[in-house]
Amino acid sequence: MGKRMEIDRGRRAFLRAGALTALGTAAAGFLGGRAGAAPPRHDGHNHAAHGMAVTVGEVDHARNGFNPTDILTDYDYGRVSTLEDGRTLREYTLTAMDKEIEVVPGLVYPAWTYNGRVPAPTLRATEGDRLRITFRNAGTHPHSLHFHGVHPAEMDGVPGTPGLIGPGEEFVYEFDAEPFGLHLYHCHAFPLARHIAKGLYGAFIVDPPGGRPPVDHEFVMVMNGFDVDFDDENDFYAVNTIPFHYQNHPIPIRVGETVRIYLVNILEFDLINSFHLHANFFHYYPTGTSLTPSEYTDTIMQTQAQRGILEFSYKHPGTYMFHAHNTEFAELGWAGHFLVLP
Ligand SMILES: [Cu+2]
């Protein structure tokens, strides 16, 4: 309990300080739901204190260079060619670069990114494909690409291997896409927590030969967070980086349409993250390495680097929440809506 109270105090102290400085007036509305700090309305009733937490205004997606709505369905299949042995070769280029990202309106975070976005591009291949990834470090610190999957030690991207490179250097990773499933990649330079928390991670989908059964929608969701005051505790939580994005911009689907979510947890500093779907249940495929679901549920949890595939459809039209069932995370940004149309 002592530790917990310290964490809470630290966060609140930051949020209070932020309201007066960096967060500015726009983001002060964010505090309304969190701490009841919004100014009372003319009838003296503090409406925000009863409603859901939410950000006021919009971050500048164009300046950020990415939009979480687009990230849901943005898959990078690489530059495709055929090898002499008939196998498919997929070539990708990833560049590490320092970049400021507006996380909530008015609050800019000095991120480290692959290709200028957080999360990094979702790389997608089919099991057995050859992958060739040219990695350039245009940042100010040593970085690497560490893939989850099966590959030789020298392609593992950890200290002591050729894949950990300094600023201005380049390295080509080459290995086969295996096993099929939902994986991820991230920087493995030390201190690891800092290199991950700064934004160097992305989803890596390996489809089974022949693919999964077709669905109406496939969405990529990377659960992450931001420690904007660098005290090794997260101040904001999100799916695909921007807190409350899918609450402010609900994801439209239709009754009866089949939905597949590729869900990855990369959250640093907190032990466990979770996903809860409202008024519905989903089939869950841990790590996506089997075509048979292991569970039919409405809530799953993942520790860092755990991931899994969710499949569901909605029976009734309406607006439905999805969010971390760690309630604190939900109130600090990890909450969204599906808009289910008739
Ligand atoms: Cu790094």
Bond from prior residue into 213 cis (ω within 30 degrees of 0): no
Given a contact cutoff of 8 angstroms between Cβ atoms, the answer to whether 264 and 223 are in contact is yes
**pLDDT tens column, 327-340:** 999 999 999 999 99
pTM: 0.88
Bond from prior residue into 119 cis (ω within 30 degrees of 0): yes
Classify residue 143 by its DSSP letter.
B
Ligand 1 centre distance from Cα of residue 43 (Å): 52
pLDDT above 70 covers a percentage of the chain that reads 85
**pLDDT tens column, 195-247:** 999 999 999 999 999 999 999 999 999 999 999 999 999 999 999 999 999 99
Ligand 1 centre distance from Cα of residue 230 (Å): 16
Which residue do the tokens 């005290």 mark?
Answer: 231
Ligand 1 centre distance from Cα of residue 313 (Å): 38
Ligand 1 centre distance from Cα of residue 136 (Å): 12
Burial class (CB in 10 A: 0-12, 13-18, 19+), 86: exposed
Ligand 1 centre distance from Cα of residue 45 (Å): 48
What six digits make up the tokens of 203? 């989803």
Given a contact cutoff of 8 angstroms between Cβ atoms, the answer to whether 264 and 182 are in contact is yes
Ligand 1 centre distance from Cα of residue 82 (Å): 32
Ligand 1 centre distance from Cα of residue 137 (Å): 9
Residue 39 has pLDDT above 80, yes or no: no
Given a contact cutoff of 8 angstroms between Cβ atoms, the answer to whether 173 and 154 are in contact is no
Ligand 1 centre distance from Cα of residue 143 (Å): 4
> Can you give the pLDDT at residue 157?
97
Residue ranges near ligand 1 (ion) with Cβ within 5 Å? 143, 187, 189, 195, 200
Ligand 1 centre distance from Cα of residue 132 (Å): 20
